[in-house]
Amino acid sequence: MEWWRSPENNRAPGNTCLRACHLLAREDRPWQDAGQIGSKGCGANMRVAPVGLAPGLSDEQRAGAAQLQAALTHGHPTALAASDLTAHAVRLLARGAEPTGLIGLLRSYAYENRTRYHEFWLGDLWSRAQDPTPEHFIARGWDECLEILRRLQDAVRTVSPETDPCLATGEGWIAEEALATGLLCFLLFVDEPLTALRRAACTAGDSDSIACLTGAFAGAYLGADAWPAEWVDRIEYRGELLALGTLWDA
């Protein structure tokens, strides 16, 4: 709420985020009424990477936090599942998982969690939709993610690096496509992070969101030294972020 009202906020988020912030500010309504239950926009998971990097979280905490931060604005079950998968992918890569096996690990994770509804984190969010049970609600999201992971697996084997990746895995306006297309750009250039970012940015779809996720995957796998020093020096709010990182490490 402080960000939403801040005079320093010069951002232009999507209507879903703005509408949700407006509703979250109303103290007479539960937060579940703020998350737009029909929206699975990529804003749900382009901001979730820090959850995958946070130390000391259990698997339950990581999944619940990833889904909750999505649900505050984007309540669609696919937004929740895609955010969970994005944080899980970042976590796997940061812990040294081989990129060649990443899609299989993500598919296994999706199958394992297909009917698991995190009630402690989400409360009765599911009841805002038309599903008969919370398990049915969340399964819809995981099923859409499993389908995009299948397309991603095919694309990794067949797509030329010169071809716009959006043609294979979607333009990234929605959460599951942003995950898949960001991963595709990373997997096409695993050891060339700048080339991966360039490929992500030069796409026909929601290129800044795709590049955001591509950079998160590459950075998790290769570490901060993957990026040019002049880029790091120009990061907005760098001082505040470094201070936060110091506290985090402590």
Residues facing residue 174 across a β-bridge: 41
Distance of alpha carbon 155 from its chain centroid, rounded? 20
pLDDT value of residue 9 = 83
- Residue 64 near residue 30 (C-beta atoms within 8 A): no
User: What is the C-alpha to C-alpha distance for residues 48 and 66, in angstroms, rounded to an integer?
Assistant: 6
Name the phi and psi angles at 74, rounded to 5. -115, 105
- Residue 67 near residue 121 (C-beta atoms within 8 A): yes
Looking at the structure of the chain, the number of domains it has is: 1
> Which has the closest alpha carbon to 224: 94, 108, 73, 59?
94
Is residue 1 situated within a structural domain?
no
Radius of gyration of the chain from its Cα atoms, rounded to whole angstroms? 18
Is residue 2 situated within a structural domain?
no
CATH number of domain containing 55: 1.10.4080.10
- Residue 173 near residue 148 (C-beta atoms within 8 A): no
- Residue 165 near residue 181 (C-beta atoms within 8 A): yes
Is residue 60 over pLDDT 90? yes
pLDDT value of residue 65 = 98
Is residue 125 situated within a structural domain?
yes
Q: 31: pLDDT confidence band, cut at 50, 70 and 90? A: very high
As a whole number, the mean pLDDT across the chain is 95
Q: 248: pLDDT confidence band, cut at 50, 70 and 90? A: confident
pLDDT for 194-240, tens place per residue? 999 999 999 999 999 999 999 999 999 999 899 999 999 999 999 99
pLDDT value of residue 15 = 87
pLDDT value of residue 2 = 84
DSSP 245: H
Domain with 138, as residue range(s), is 15-249
Is residue 114 over pLDDT 90? yes
pLDDT value of residue 28 = 87
Q: 14: pLDDT confidence band, cut at 50, 70 and 90? A: confident
Is residue 165 situated within a structural domain?
yes
Cβ count within 10 A of residue 79: 31
Is residue 3 situated within a structural domain?
no
The residue with greater pLDDT, 165 or 26, is: 165
Is residue 153 over pLDDT 90? yes
- Does the reported pTM lie above 0.75? yes
Is residue 7 situated within a structural domain?
no
pLDDT for 119-140, tens place per residue? 999 999 999 999 999 999 999 9
- Residue 65 near residue 88 (C-beta atoms within 8 A): no
Is residue 171 situated within a structural domain?
yes
Tokens of 9: 């906020």
| Percentage of residues in the chain having pLDDT higher than 90 | 86
Q: 36: pLDDT confidence band, cut at 50, 70 and 90? A: very high
- Please report, to the nearest 10 degrees, the dihedral formed by the alpha carbons of residues 119, 122, 125, 126 taken in order: -50
Is residue 40 situated within a structural domain?
yes
| Percentage of residues in the chain having pLDDT higher than 70 | 100
pLDDT value of residue 8 = 83
